[in-house]
Chain A
């Protein structure tokens, strides 16, 4: 009886200690005491000309207004709030914003991190390291380089088909699986490529969407963020890819070049390619293609300069039909396949030589295939793949099989 009473007192004391110990965590992490950040933007500070002061950055935070959300839905303007602050680092910016907002910032639901083009041209490695070291920021957060200010990009990323901006940020990178004009680049991917020496990082290329049709592009396939032929209600667009050398922005790819990149990476499901019609050069045939097998990559480093071999297998169907279409003719289908092979092959070669000679940036990660030829990390490091990539040669072999039209094969 006495023992039971002592046990009861001990258990009670232990409970009391733990209730006291963990109650402050419950209060501080209560959903009503937190401000959820859904997007962060980085710009160069507006007045950073004084060299005696610490270099400043302008950090933009987009918050979701949880109290404005209701079962009946809400207007777009009331659910999202954008605030900016200038400071010397991300942590100081968060601290300042904490005091302004009155609630503690929580980055656990941050979907997008945006760097302006001007900011990305300086080295963003420090910011990436700081973000990846943060327990709240997910490695699956998307990285965007915006050709306009990050502040403008975030303010104007208003979804037209969804109520919530978070839903839009969740969904837009997925369009890479069926268009190929953008990519789903995450903070984790960026950091891995930044630290390793077998490839270079990339980021989604974003920009503003003007209210006029763009007539400056030579070809419809040259669409790129800030310079596309799209006119829409949303003020921003995401087409293309930003290329980095280490932490510095060195170049950008158009939408179609991003498609070639995704084909090599095996990160695309279906995509559309327009090739000249073999029977009439004034017309185009739209092909819906899928990767029949994964791209095979082989790298040979025996002769000084690396030689990269690519084998791509595609299968597709013809999308456009007119009054004189005949896609049951085997020889015609083979001719289309042959045209498609040479068209895609030459475009992929051009893209690869562009990344190698112009930008000197191995965004396709061919380095990891080259590392097989080395026994030790020291030998691999001495080879200096990232510098050797600019001397690389490419042999691209595309094999595509065009099967038929979709529903109609002959008219």
Chain B
């Protein structure tokens, strides 16, 4: 089996090469990859329609009203991607398009999320009881068109690997830009390679799935609520109050 270090290195090198170029290179790469990713999920949804059963949506409230809406409020961290919207305005050519871009991004993301969840919910009874590592991968394994087109897993894995690399590139680029502004460094290229090394080192920390889940489901969850929701709303409120005081 190939050592995990080489697989992580693959992503890190791709990220560092793209981040050392302009931000427009990142955007153009994503422009090529995004339609393929959206098409893949729509294709997966349509191709698996024969395995869907609407009755799997019941019971409607699942684990109960409290568990879904009150205790489940913390699951809003799944919408953490919305935080990227804060970083878009400085990179726009025309700031007035920001509202339109936000709306389109949110609609596309919602549709994508809805399709992904629908596939696993309508196909499998078992994922309520079983914790599956990659639910969409399980759905892909059911795809068969006659006896010729079978085993399309590798195609989807390739698409998902590329889309993950694109996501990692955007996140790394934003982190580098934030650091550059904090430290007042003009040239980003000298920051890219240390960041890549840091990314490589941190990705080697989790030694098993439990540690990864802890980072992803616990630490990231609270960071989303504190940094994205709490602090940004607090800044908005404070700025509003300051504005009102200043205008008096």
Q: Which one, B55-63, B85-93, B106-114, B194-202, is touching chain A?
A: B55-63
Contact check, A375 vs B144: say whether CB atoms are below 8 A apart. Answer: no
Segment of B122-130, B170-178, B232-240 in the binding face: B122-130
Residues of B within 8 A of A372 (CB): 55, 58-59
| Any A CB within 8 A of the CB of B155 | no
The answer to whether the Cβ of B53 comes within 8 Å of any Cβ in the partner chain is: yes
Contact A170 B147, CB 8 Å, known A188-B142, A378-B63: yes
The segment from B5-13, B34-42, B206-214 found at the interface with A is: B5-13
Query: Is the beta-carbon distance between B2 and A371 smaller than 8 angstroms?
Result: no
Question: What range describes how many residues of B lie at the interface?
Answer: 20 to 34
Q: Is A25 an interface residue (CB 8 A)?
A: yes
Chain B residues with Cβ below 8 Å from A377 are 59, 62-64, 128
Contact of A140 among B10, B62, B144 (CB under 8 A): B144
Whether A374 contacts B130 in the complex (CB less than 8 A), given A18-B6, A25-B2, comes out as no
Contact A375–B59 (Cβ < 8 Å): yes
Please state if A368 and B126 are interface contacts (CB–CB under 8 Å). no
* A196–B126 CB distance below 8 A: yes
The answer to whether A17 and B9 touch (CB under 8 A), given A376-B62, A378-B63, is yes
For residue B56, which residue of chain A has the nearest CB?
Answer: A368
Contact assessment for B126 and A14 in the assembled complex, using a CB-CB cutoff below 8 Å: no
Does B138 interact with chain A (Cβ within 8 Å)? yes
Q: Does B151 contact A (CB under 8 A)?
A: yes
Q: Are B61 and A195 in contact (CB under 8 A)?
A: no
Complex interface: chain B residues within 8 A of A195 (CB):
125-126, 129-130
Q: Known contacts A139-B138, A192-B124; is A371 also within 8 Å of B6 by CB? A: no
**Given A170-B147, A195-B125, A21 contacting B59 (CB threshold 8 A):** no
Q: Which residues of A contact B63 (CB under 8 A)?
A: 376-378
A337 beta carbon closer than 8 Å to chain B: no
Q: Tell me, in angstroms, the Cα distance from A179 to B100 when the chains sit together.
A: 57
B22 at the interface (CB under 8 A from A): no
Task: Point out the residues of chain B lying under 8 angstroms from A374, CB to CB.
Answer: 58-59
Q: Is the CB of B64 within 8 A of A371?
A: no
**B60, closest chain A residue (CB):** A375
Query: Which residues in chain A, 169-214, are within 8 Å of chain B measured between CB atoms?
Result: 170, 188, 191-193, 195-196, 198
B58 and A371 form a contact (CB under 8 A): yes
Residues of B contacting A: mostly? loop
CA of A22 to CA of B9, assembled, Å: 12
Complex contact A196–B125 (CB within 8 A): yes
A95 within 8 A of B: no
A371 touching B3, Cβ below 8 Å: no
Question: Which residues from A are CB-within-8-Å of B3?
Answer: 21
Closest chain A CB from B232 CB (angstroms): 35
Q: Is the CB of A191 within 8 A of B59?
A: no
Is the beta-carbon distance between A139 and B58 smaller than 8 angstroms?
A: no
Q: In the docked arrangement, what's the CA distance between A376 and B62, Å?
A: 5
A379 and B59 in contact, given A21-B6, A108-B151, A139-B141 (Cβ under 8 angstroms): yes
Query: Inside 8 A of A380's CB, which chain B residues have their CB?
Result: 59
Within 8 A of A (CB), among B117-175: 124-126, 128-130, 138, 141-142, 144, 147, 150-151
A-side contacts of B128, CB under 8 Å = 196, 377
A138 to B125, CA, bound (A): 18
**Quick one: which of A196, A198, A369, A374 has the most chain B CB within 10 A?**
A196
Q: 7 A-B pairs, CB-CB below 8 angstroms?
A: A25-B1, A25-B2, A108-B151, A139-B138, A170-B147, A196-B125, A371-B55
Taking beta carbons and an 8 Å cutoff, which residues of A are in contact with B? 14, 17-18, 21-22, 24-25, 108, 138-140, 170, 188, 191-193, 195-196, 198, 368-369, 371-372, 374-380
Excluding A192-B124, A198-B125, 18 further A-B contacts by CB distance (< 8 Å) are A14-B13, A17-B6, A17-B9, A18-B10, A21-B2, A21-B3, A21-B9, A25-B1, A138-B141, A140-B144, A140-B150, A192-B126, A195-B125, A368-B56, A371-B58, A372-B55, A375-B59, A378-B63
